[in-house]
């Protein structure tokens, strides 16, 4: 049995009772960074073996994990924050589990783009989640396609690339397209800034930006 367990974005209270129950019950917990995950587990007095599982080793250890699951072990996958598989490792393992008739269960819980999207004030009846944009290859092609997208668009971005990405959006989507930027969600310094792409880009050009970022952009009208 494989469980996908969402973990808090920042505030440790944002975890479900069921998630704690599952983490206490499994044989091993797969996590991105054992140091980060240890803080959460220690807070809830969960004492289970931790095993690194991230983008740099997920291919290498995939077969071994499947063998352990087939042998009867139960595992939980967690990430540093949010739901496994959403711009974080888990897809390969889930796909392989399903191929081998290993039961997979995903618990509901924290996902960064949901509060950012709802908070944006932009239409959310239809939206597209794009995650992280390609850094080089394919970036121009994707942005050209998205320039005609009518649905609200959701992106993840790092602090160091935020202003560059906002400038790219201005060039492809137009300076007056509405957007919002959410960062440090659920944490003490949470910020949700709204405006046109031009206004938001100007605002962040003069700031030392920290924290994980979600950008929500209005679709073409």
| Whether residue 154 sits in one domain with residue 98 | no
| Whether residue 17 sits in one domain with residue 57 | yes
pTM metric for this prediction: 0.93
pLDDT in the model for residue 113: 96
pLDDT in the model for residue 32: 94
pLDDT in the model for residue 47: 96
The Cα-based distances of 214 to 58, 119, 182 in angstroms read: 25, 11, 5
Mean per-residue pLDDT pooled into runs of 10, the chain (221 residues): 97 96 98 95 97 95 97 97 94 97 97 96 97 95 97 97 98 98 95 98 94 96 89
pLDDT in the model for residue 195: 98
| Whether residue 83 sits in one domain with residue 15 | yes
Helix axes 197-205, 162-173, angle to 10 degrees: 160
| Whether residue 138 sits in one domain with residue 63 | no
CATH number at residue 134: 3.30.950.10
Residue at which a domain ends, from 74, 106, 138: 106
pLDDT in the model for residue 23: 98
| Whether residue 212 sits in one domain with residue 143 | yes
Could you give the CA distance from residue 158 to residue 119 in angstroms, rounded to a whole number? 19
CATH number at residue 102: 3.40.1010.10
Domain of 199, in residue numbers: 113-217
pLDDT in the model for residue 36: 94
Q: Which residue has the tokens 């396609």?
A: 145
In this structure, what are the phi and psi dihedrals at residue 38, rounded to the nearest 5 degrees? -60, -35
In this structure, what are the phi and psi dihedrals at residue 86, rounded to the nearest 5 degrees? -95, 95
pLDDT in the model for residue 19: 98
pLDDT in the model for residue 109: 94
pLDDT in the model for residue 132: 96
Could you give the CA distance from residue 154 to residue 69 in angstroms, rounded to a whole number? 35
């Amino acid at each position: 049995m494989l469980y996908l367990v969402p973990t808090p974005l920042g505030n440790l209270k944002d975890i479900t009772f069921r998630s704690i129950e599952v983490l206490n019950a499994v044989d091993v917990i797969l996590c991105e960074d054992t140091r980060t995950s240890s803080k959460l587990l220690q807070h809830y007095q969960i004492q289970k073996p931790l095993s690194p599982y991230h983008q740099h080793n997920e291919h290498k250890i995939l077969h071994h994990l499947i063998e352990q699951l087939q042998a009867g072990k139960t595992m939980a996958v967690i990430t540093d924050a949010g739901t496994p598989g959403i711009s974080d490792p888990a897809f390969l393992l889930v796909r392989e589990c399903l191929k081998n008739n290993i039961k997979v269960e995903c618990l509901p819980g924290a996902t960064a783009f949901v509060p950012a999207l709802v908070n944006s004030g932009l239409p959310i009846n239809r939206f597209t989640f794009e995650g992280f944009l390609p850094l080089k290859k394919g970036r121009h092609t994707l942005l050209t396609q998205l320039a005609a997208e009518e649905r609200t668009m959701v992106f993840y971005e790092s602090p160091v690339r935020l202003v560059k990405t906002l400038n790219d959006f201005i060039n492809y989507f137009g300076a007056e397209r509405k957007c919002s930027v959410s960062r440090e969600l659920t944490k003490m310094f949470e910020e949700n800034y709204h405006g046109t792409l031009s206004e938001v880009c100007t605002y962040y050009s003069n700031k030392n930006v920290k924290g994980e970022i979600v950008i929500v952009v209005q679709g073409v009208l």
